[in-house]
Structures are given as structure tokens and as C-alpha cells.
Amino acid sequence: MTPEATETEKPAAGRQAAETDWATALLGNDGRLVHAARLAAIGEIAAGIAHEMNQPLAAIQMIVTSMLADIERGTLPTERARQWLDTVNEQIGRISWIIGHLRSFSRGEGAEPPAAVALGEIVENTLGLLGAQLRSHGIVVELDLEAPLPEVRGSARRLEQVLVNLLSNARDALDTLPNDAPKAVRIRAYAPPGQDPVVIEVADTGPGMSTEVRERLFEPFFTTKGAAQGTGLGLSIVRTIVDECGGHVAVESKPGVGATFRIELPAATPAHAQSGKEPIP
Ligand SMILES: Nc1ncnc2c1ncn2[C@@H]1O[C@H](COP(=O)(O)OP(=O)(O)O)[C@@H](O)[C@H]1O
Ligand SMILES: [Mg+2]
């Protein structure tokens, strides 16, 4: 990682002060941006949800159709009916999980005080909402989650919003590649030994970005996408949420070689207490 290739969340002092005022005005006091951002994230996952629901609905429809045909013919043994209905129940459970999760995702900010959260679950839940959509865009999702991983302190829904934003950006970036190009997103989470922060990285094999874009991408309303696609809010929200957790976000990218977003989050329990070992001096 070369210094020129890295833009951290610490912009020039003047810009940072201006953005802090901006964030306080919109995020802290009247919450308008929080609402806009949540709506933007919900918009992002709406298409994903349609994909996620499609599969269990198709399975239920197939089973119901077969059962009706068997009943017509008078050839439906109770045992087979029971097995099929069990499967229908499972699929309904899957749909309720998606709906319930979307609801908790869109609920107000005050609903969830910061707690110790497991990043593995955050990743799993986010992929439960967006995974099928990514696959339908021809994107391979690679997971590399260290286990066990120390919990971090934050709001699960807010951290899911971080991942939704990073994954949607990766999807948009990968969508600009030619159809036959390999498209992958890698989510990696690990705890560097003996250190407090837990790291989560989202890396894509997309076109990457120029230095000009890299320097500005955490600015609110900065977007290189058309008005229909980009709000420019995604990464400013990512930065706000990561800041709230006492963490740090940085991006590493060069044109043509993809982008890696790296987030460090303080562990809910200090490193030496977690591992039961003395910290390395
Ligand atoms: N993974 C990525 N690869 C390339 N460019 C990216 C990536 N993620 C973000 N960007 C750039 O950062 C800009 C800002 O992103 P964001 O704040 O999420 O707003 P939006 O997605 O609405 O444009 C994007 O318009 C894009 O130019
Ligand atoms: Mg975005």
C-alpha cells in the first residue's frame, strides 16, 4: 500500500470542519439526513429483496402445484404431504425473516442502542438481503471471516447499512466491466493479533478510481454516477457510522485494479481481555 494510493477519512482540516458542521446540522439535530440515508439504503436493498424472495416463492409455488395435482389424482400419502408442508413452512420462515429484517432496518435510529455485535452476523444478514442480487449481476462473493472474531461495539442495523453501501458501490463498479470480465467482491474480517481494532475489508475487482475521485468520495453528495443512480450519500454515511463506533475507514484503489475499503472498529472488549493474554509490549 503506497501512501499516494490511500485516502483516509481525514480530509484537509478546513473541509473536515465544514463537514463536521454539516453533519451536526443534518445528522445530529433534525435527523433529516439520517432519514434520507436510510431511505437510500432501503432503496438499494429493495431490488435485492425482490431477488431473495423469488426463490422461496418459486419453491412454495412448485410444491403447492404438485400437491394439488396429487390430490386431484388421489395419490398424496400423508407422509409425503407432511414433508412438503415442512418445506413450505421453512420457505415461509425465510420470507418472514427477510421482511422482518427489512422492517428493523428501516426503523428509527433510537430503536437500537449500541451493543456488542458480531461482525460475522452483520455480514450474514447483509448478504441475506443483497446476496442473490449480487449473484444475479454475475458477482462472486468471497468470504474470509476469521473465527472467532472479537465483537465490536455499535448498532447492528447501522453496521449493516455500512455494508449495504459498500456492497452496492462494489456492484455498481463491477457492473461497468465488460460482461465476460471476472467480477468478485471479497469480504474479509480479522483481528490483528494483540491489537484492539477489528478489521473488515470489502474489496472488489472493479475499475477502481482516479486520485481525484479517491480524494473526494467521502464527501456528502459526491457522486460520479448519474442522478438516477447515485445520491453521493453512501460513503459519507459509512464514515459517519464508523466514526460513531470510534472506528476508522480508508480506501485503497488505483484505476484498473479495483478498490478496497478497510474499516477498523474498536473491539467491544479490549484485546488482552478477550484473548486472556497480556498485550504485546
Ligand atoms: N467500489 C468502488 N469502486 C469505484 N468507485 C467507487 C467505489 N465505491 C465508491 N466509488 C466512487 O465514490 C463515489 C461516491 O460513492 P457514494 O458516496 O456511495 O455515492 P454514490 O454511490 O451514490 O455515487 C461513487 O460515485 C464512485 O465514484
Ligand atoms: Mg453508493
Is residue 44 predicted with pLDDT exceeding 80?
Answer: no
Which residue out of 169, 175, 176, 261 has the highest number of ligand 1 atoms within 8 Å of its CB and is therefore the one to mutate?
Answer: 169
Mutate to test the pocket of ligand 1, among 217, 221, 249, 260 (most ligand atoms within 8 A of CB): 217
- Domain coordinates in residue numbering, the chain: 3-29+113-275
- pTM across the whole model: 0.76
Residue with cell 449495504: 164
Q: Which residue type is seen at 131?
A: G
Handedness of CA 114, 144, 190, 168 (dihedral sign): negative
pLDDT at 80 over 90: yes
pLDDT band for position 185 (50/70/90)?
A: very high
From the CB of 219, is ligand 1 less than 6 Å away? no
- State the chain's mean pLDDT as an integer: 82
Classify domain 3-29+113-275 at the CATH class level: alpha beta
The upper half-sphere exposure of residue 6, i.e. CA atoms within 13 Å in the direction of its Cβ, equals: 11
Reported confidence tier of residue 24, pLDDT bands at 50, 70, 90: low
Q: Which residues contact 93 (CB under 8 A, 6 or more apart)?
A: none
Residue 165 beta carbon below 6 angstroms from any ligand 1 atom:
yes
**Residues forming a β-bridge with 250:** 8, 262
